[in-house]
Amino acid sequence: MATTMPLDAGQGRRDSSSAPPWAESARRQRRAYAALDLGTNNCRLLIARPARQGFYVVDAFSRIVRLGEGLIQSGKLSEAAQDRAVEALKICADKLRRRDVHIARNVATEACRRATNGAAFIERVYAETGIALDVITSAEEARLAVLGCQTLIEPGTEQALVFDIGGGSTELILVDLCPRGLVDIKAWTSVPWGVVSLAETEPLHFDSTEARLEAYARKKQRVMDHLSGFAASIASQLRPGLQMLGTSGTITTLASLHLGLPSYDRRQVDGCWVPHGSMRDISSMLASKSPADRARVPCIGTERADLVVAGCAILEAILDAWPGEKLRVADRGIREGILRTLMGRDGYHV
């Protein structure tokens, strides 16, 4: 498991050996913690301070950088993709400095794990931004995703299947709910398909609805081929009332469409329940449209128009493997898991 490290861009722990007790207490209350997640598709930053039974966000940043664009064909991070990511990370570094962050953890996931030039990119990021990226394993990625959204597992639920649809991979984690809200990871897997990698297996434009839906079916089958082994391995462990809990841009976008929102609203989306049937109907609708038509759908836009269908295919493959009535939507994940870990180590109950 990767270790937590202080930010390298001029921040870190301060010496408080000479401070009086009241000053130390006040200083602790003002501490800002940061979690940065550089994924295959997005660069996301969350800066927060501890609060009673949780934390409150003081700054955030999110940008689609498509770091893994073309990776499945070349095996490398392209120069253009690296440039986009570095520019986003420079903004993050500036926010970290201005917010006087006490300690941060900065992680990178599937794109940097898979790319042959991933290590060189990590060195470039440090040289140009001062941010030291920690390339975490898929096991650590799964653990942090669960930690970040486990509070959305319903009280009284015995078991949940948590899944995180990323840009380069999808993590699925079977957990049992333990006393005092703790969870026990019983099994997990990382499927090597995310919205970027799966989208690149097919052309982005087709002339007919029929051709688009055929390509969509092929995408879904690719995911099913990887899910089938995991589904069979955990079948004997499943209990009645399994809760489905999904986190990702795909899940939150489809939930927004289900709710009929004109634009994205985290307050309405995070924690909401969506019937499986509604997720399937929306997925089929989006898969049948051209990228231009999808871009005009509320909450989609041009940035997601060519990737959302791959996310829909992954989601439908998961729903096929574990049929049910509804799933809960989480607009939280790795970053929140990091923050809970960092704050917990300093004695906060988050």
- 350: in domain: no
**Residue 301 belongs to domain with CATH number:** 3.30.420.150
Q: Do residues 121 and 170 share a domain?
A: no
Cα separation of 162 and 330, whole Å? 10
Is 270 inside any structural domain? Answer: yes
Same domain, 104 and 166: no
305 and 256 housed in the same domain: yes
* Domain final position from 103, 136, 169: 136
Read off the tokens for 331: 């607009």
Q: Which of 117, 136, 155 is the last residue of a domain?
A: 136
* 150/131 same-domain check: no
Whether residues 103 and 199 fall in one domain = no
Q: Tell me, yes or no, whether 220 and 279 share the same domain.
A: yes
Local confidence pLDDT in tens for the 350 residues of the chain:
333 323 333 333 333 344 455 444 555 567 899 999 999 999 999 999 998 878 999 999 999 999 999 999 999 999 999 999 999 999 999 999 999 898 999 999 999 999 999 999 999 999 999 999 999 999 999 999 999 999 999 988 999 999 999 999 999 999 998 877 678 999 999 999 999 999 999 988 899 999 999 999 999 999 999 999 999 999 999 999 999 999 999 999 999 999 999 999 999 999 999 999 999 999 999 999 999 999 999 999 888 898 999 999 999 999 999 999 999 999 999 999 999 999 999 888 77
Q: What is the pLDDT of residue 182?
A: 75
Residue spans of beta strands (DSSP E) within 127-230: 134-135, 159-165, 170-177, 183-191
Assigned domain for 13 exists: no
- Predicted pLDDT of residue 96: 96
Q: Is residue 265 classed as helix, strand or coil in its secondary structure?
A: coil
Same domain, 46 and 66: yes
Indicate if 246 and 271 belong to the same structural domain.
Answer: yes
Query: Can you give the residue range of the structural domain that contains 41?
Result: 21-136
Residues 225 and 327 in one domain: yes
In whole angstroms, give the CA distance from residue 61 to residue 168: 20
Assigned domain for 39 exists: yes
Tell me, yes or no, whether 73 lies in a domain: yes
Output the pLDDT for position 2.
32
Q: Which of 34, 139, 117 is nearest to 68 (CA)?
A: 117
Residue 181, pLDDT score: 66
What is the spatial distance between Cα 347 and Cα 350, in angstroms, rounded to a whole number?
A: 9
Q: What is the pLDDT of residue 28?
A: 58
- Judge if 176 and 282 occupy the same domain: yes
Does 343 fall in a domain? no
Residues 71 and 180 in one domain: no
Single-letter code of the amino acid located at 5: M
- Predicted TM-score (pTM) above 0.95: no
Structurally, the chain folds into a number of domains equal to 2
- Residue 21: predicted pLDDT: 52
pLDDT at position 330 is 97
Whether residue 155 is found in the same domain as residue 180:
yes
